[in-house]
Structure 1
Amino acid sequence: MSTPATRNTAAAKPAASGRPRMPLADRVHDRLKADIFDFRLMPGDRLSENEIAARVGASRTPVREALFRLQREGYVETPAGGGWQVRRFDFARFDELYEVRVVIESAAVRRLCARAERPAALAELEAVWQVPTARRTTDSTRAWHLDEQFHAGLVAAAGNDEMARMHRDVTERIRVIRRLDFTVSARIAATYDEHAAILAALADRRAAAAQRLLAAHIEASRREVRKITLEGLYEARAALADTPA
């Protein structure tokens, strides 16, 4: 009979490649989360523990663990009738999180402009965003990741670990809605222009201008995702399905 210690040892046993295998509940969690982000699972879709277990080749226990974790993160919910479903978009909640994001990033910009030495991270961001049109990505998934790295990079470069931690939490909670902003090609192009302008203001230590540009940039993103309808979500899913892996 196995003990908790021996079970934990077995769970941590390296795979054939020599790398530790990710716990099954974590793998199920990551797979479901990816399905939500890429809209293979849509807001309001019902989820069956049995169906998920059969699809991933697992028992219901790790599936349930994964679903409870997704519930804590705000991606799934338990409707009145029981069971599970993908959480519907709550735009009032997203608006509040966007406001928090503006406060944190504006404070980071102010700190960046006040620093005696220019952080090397800003030069790295300029190398990504202040580029000719021909060098810009048009891939929505790539643009989404780069955008997250831009905003996280600004906050991290400000040098306040608690501010960065709070920003990571807000980013996680609005990630699924921000994903939509990059299913529209015009928004990818606008993001390059807006990021480049913010970086130019930071390079000149024009804190007020950088804060104004940053707030306008975030507001433009918020307004864009506010326009999304259920039909738009299906179109976004189709666009992502056509994107090369």
Structure 2
Amino acid sequence: MPEGNAAVHEAYDAVRTRMTDGRYAQGQIITPEAVATETSLPLPAIEAAFGRLVEENALRLYRSHGALVLPLDLEEARDVMEARLLLEVFAIDSVVARGREHARRLGRDLIPLLHDKDTAEATLLQARQFHGELVAAAGNAVVARMHETLWDRSLHVAAASTAGPDNRRGNVAEHRAIAEALSRGEGAQARRLVYEHVSAILRRVGVGDELALPRPADA
């Protein structure tokens, strides 16, 4: 049986995956004791995982009754992800406008961040760093702060989209494709890949990908 931080990571992955695939349905009450029995993981690890999911606004704790699985607000998820997309496309355009070598340098800086991770939490942290550094490269502090705020608001979506090994691999592969396009100085391709990445995130959480923003132009 895993212990310590490894057990907490495994517990978080187990609960988050069950929430994403519907085994723990929205509106269902789950208890740490029942989850510990089902997963054969230590109760303290399950309780720690519940605490993290509360921070992500995925669970609501009720003393002595367990935790309520909260629904994902699909309309807000789409709105927030569209806003993030707008800022990330702006960041790419800003870097490319300074010259293709700036885009290549950004891509080369981003690629080393991207390694397959064993847990949803590690993948989520990697994603936050990747997107944060992408937007920071625009050199606009106001845009960077706006993006940070939007990331916090989209945490439930981002976390749900990294649950399960297939989703984790998909996220990392999409990030790597964006970074590699930038490393070749291909700004238009990077913009398209960011759009496709956001669409994929929404599909993973069941929102659909009918984004209001048009696909980035090939300019």
Alignment TM-score > 0.5, same fold: yes
Which residue among 173, 187, 205 is the counterpart of 1:207?
187
Mapped to 2, the partners of 1:188 and 1:180 lie a distance apart of 10
Q: What amino acid maps onto 2:197 in structure 1?
A: H
Q: Does 1:136 align with 2:122?
A: no
**What is residue 158 of structure 1 aligned with on the other side?**
138
Q: Greater CA radius of gyration, 1 or 2?
A: 1
**What is residue 79 of structure 2 aligned with on the other side?**
96
In structure 2, relative to structure 1, the CA distance for the partners of 1:169 and 1:225 (3 Å cut) is same
In structure 2, relative to structure 1, the CA distance for the partners of 1:87 and 1:186 (3 Å cut) is closer
> Of the two structures, which has the highest relative contact order with CA contacts closer than 8 Å and spacing of 6 or more?
2
Mapped to 2, the partners of 1:215 and 1:159 lie a distance apart of 21
Mapped to 1, the partners of 2:180 and 2:136 lie a distance apart of 18
Which residue among 182, 189, 203 is the counterpart of 2:162?
182
Mapped to 1, the partners of 2:98 and 2:172 lie a distance apart of 25
Which residue among 118, 127, 146 is the counterpart of 2:102?
118
Mapped to 2, the partners of 1:102 and 1:176 lie a distance apart of 17
Unmatched segments (≥5 aa) in structure 2: 1-11, 30-54, 61-67, 208-219
TM score, norm. by length of structure 1: 0.55
Q: 1:123: Cα distance to partner?
A: 3.2
Unmatched segments (≥5 aa) in structure 1: 1-34, 47-69, 78-84, 130-134, 228-245
Which residue among 183, 194, 204 is the counterpart of 2:174?
194
The share of aligned pairs that are identical, in percent, is 27
**What is residue 39 of structure 2 aligned with on the other side?**
none
SS in 2 for 1:107: helix
Instruction: Judge conservation of contact 2:108–2:179 (CA < 8 Å) in 1.
Output: no
Runs (4 or more) in structure 1 with deviation over 6 Å come to 73-77
Stretch moving more, 158-167 or 183-192: 183-192
Mapped to 1, the partners of 2:123 and 2:165 lie a distance apart of 10
